[in-house]
Amino acid sequence: MCKDCLFKQPLFNILNPNELETLNQNRYEVRYKKGETIFKQGSALTHIACFTHGMAKIYIEGLNNRNLIIKIVKRGEMVGGPGMHTDFKHHFTVTTLTDTQVCLIDAETFQDVVKSNNKFALAMMKKINTQGIKNFEKFINLTQKQMPGRIADAIFYLSDFVHESDHFDVVISRQDLADMTAMTKESAIRILKEFKDAGLISVEGNHFEILDKETLRKICRTG
Amino acid sequence: MCKDCLFKQPLFNILNPNELETLNQNRYEVRYKKGETIFKQGSALTHIACFTHGMAKIYIEGLNNRNLIIKIVKRGEMVGGPGMHTDFKHHFTVTTLTDTQVCLIDAETFQDVVKSNNKFALAMMKKINTQGIKNFEKFINLTQKQMPGRIADAIFYLSDFVHESDHFDVVISRQDLADMTAMTKESAIRILKEFKDAGLISVEGNHFEILDKETLRKICRTG
DNA sequence: TTGATTCATTGATAAAAATCAATATATTTG
DNA sequence: CAAATATATTGATTTTTATCAATGAATCAA
C-alpha cells in the first residue's frame, strides 16, 4: 500500500487518499538483480519508477558507445524523465548498481493525477526545475573544469549525496566514474592516483575516504 | 493587449479570456538596446519575458569569467528559467544581441495562473521537459564531440533555428560562438577556417553560408 | 579450482585543445 | 577624422587529454 510505504515520496503527501489509492491500484513491484536495466533509452515510457531498495545509475547513451551518467538514484527516489508529458519515450537508460526493488507506477495514471491535482502539478514542476538547476551546474562542471575538478566533483557527489559519509565503498566501477566525469577510464584512474599521492583521498579498491576536504573542495571550485 | 498580440505564445491559447487578461494587467513592455541585460544570473526572478522583437543570448556565467550560451531566443519566445516555481532566482543571464522588445509578465501572477489552470500547468510541464530533452542532447554534444563536431552543431543551430536559412548574417560574435561550443575563441575561429578551406561553408565576416550540408551533417553525427 | 572474462592499473605516445603573443580589422567615441 | 577600444585572425608553443599496449587483479562459470 502506497499510503503506508516507508519510502513514499514526500511529493505524494500532497495527494488526497483517493488519488494515492489510484496510484496504488496502478503500480506493481519489481526486483532487479545488479546490472539489470529498468528503463532503456529510446523505449516507451509507460511507467515511473519509485526506488524502495538498492541503487541505479541513470545515463545517456551517447556517441561511439560512450555513456554519460547524469545521476545515481537510491531508495526513496522517483525516476520519470523528460519524456513524461512529451513524447513518452525514455531519454536515458537506468541500470541497477545493486540488487534493487522498485515500484512501477503507470505513467498514464500518473499523468491523470497530475492533471487533476494542481498542487501536485506545481510540486512536480518545482521538482523538474530543481533538476534543471542541477543540470546547469553540471554543464559548467563538465565543460569548464579540467579533469581534477571533475573528479573532485564526482567524489563529493558520491560522498555527500550517494553514500552520505566521507568514507564509503563505491558501488560504481572506474568506468562509471569516467562516465560521470566525461573522460576515459584511464584518465579517471590517473587523477585518483594523483589525489591519493597528494594525500587528498585514500583509495583501496572500492573503498574511498576523503582525507583533505578543504583542498579537494578548492579543486572543485577552481576547476 | 495580450489577446491580440501577434507574437502571443501558442501556450497562451490554453488560457481563458479572464486568465489572459490577468496576465495582460500584470505585464509591461520594455525596449532594450543591443548588448543590454534583461535578466542577470543570481538576481530575483520577478518576471517572465516574452520576446516581441529582436534576439538575445541566454548564458550561464560559469568559472573564470567563462560563459556557456545555452540558447538564443527570438521573437515569439518566452523565457522564464528553472528558478520559476523553485528559488525564484535567475540561473542564467539574458543579454540582447540586437535591439529588442519584450513583455515582462509578473512571475507571481504567472504562477497563479499555472495554479488555477491545470491544462496550462501541464502544457508548461511539457514545455519544460522538451527543454530538458534538448539539454540532454546538449550534454552529449558538449562532452562527447570534438571541436569540429561542436562547431558544426552550432552552425546548424544558427541555420535551422535562429536564422532559418542556409545563408545568413550572424548576430553573434566569434566569442559567442566559442561560448556556445565550450571552447576558446581562437579554436572556434580555426575550425571555421578549416570548414571554409574544406569548402563546407563560406564565411565572410558575419556572413555565413552552408555549402556542403551533407558533409557538415556527418561531422555533427560522428563528433 | 581453473581457465575465461571482465575490470583496474601503468607507461609510452599521439592527438586535441588551450595559451600566449603578435597583428590585423572593425567600431566607437571624443 | 583620428585616436582609442573592441573584435578577429594567425602562428608558435605548451598543456591537457585520449589512445594504444601491456600487465595485473578480481570475479565468474563450468
Domain boundaries, chain B: 2-140, 145-222
Average pLDDT over residues A196-204: 96
| A167 touches B at CB < 8 Å | no
> Are B55 and B171 spatial neighbours (Cβ–Cβ below 8 Å)?
yes
Q: For residue B70, list chain A residues with Cβ-Cβ distance below 8 A.
A: 136, 139
| DSSP assignment letter at A145 | S
- At residue B27, the 3 state secondary structure works out as strand
Nearest nucleotide from residue B206 CA, by C1' atom: D8
Instruction: Kindly report the CATH number that applies to the domain delimited by B145-222.
Output: 1.10.10.10
Number of CB pairs < 8 Å for A and B? 142
| A11 touches B at CB < 8 Å | no
Residue A184 pLDDT greater than 90, yes or no: yes
Residue A223 pLDDT greater than 90, yes or no: no
As a whole-number percent, the residues of chain A with pLDDT over 90 amount to 98
As a whole-number percent, the residues of chain A with pLDDT over 70 amount to 100
pLDDT at B32: 95
pLDDT tens per residue, chain B (223 residues)?
888 999 999 999 999 999 999 999 999 999 999 999 999 999 999 999 999 999 999 999 999 999 999 999 999 999 999 999 999 999 999 999 999 999 999 999 999 999 999 999 999 999 999 999 999 999 999 999 999 999 999 999 999 999 999 999 999 999 999 999 999 999 999 999 999 999 999 999 999 999 999 999 999 998 8
- At residue A136, the 3 state secondary structure works out as helix
State, as a whole number of angstroms, the distance between the CA of B186 and the C1' of C25: 16
Going from the C-alpha of B92 to that of each of A24, A41, A210, B83, B85, the distances in angstroms are 39, 29, 32, 9, 15
pLDDT at B1: 86
Rounded distance between C-alpha atoms, residue A73 and residue B129, angstroms:
19
> Are A203 and A192 spatial neighbours (Cβ–Cβ below 8 Å)?
yes
CA nearest to B72, candidates B183, B172, B182, B191 = B172
Residue A1 pLDDT greater than 90, yes or no: no
Burial A44-64 (b: 16+ CB within 10 A, else e): ebebbbbbbebbbbbbbebee
Which superfamily is assigned to B2-140 in CATH? Jelly Rolls (2.60.120.10)
CATH 2.50.20.10 at A2-141, yes or no: no
pLDDT at B3: 87
Digit-coded pLDDT (tens) for A28-53: 999 999 999 999 999 999 999 999 99
- For A83, name the nearest residue in chain B, comparing CA atoms only: B129
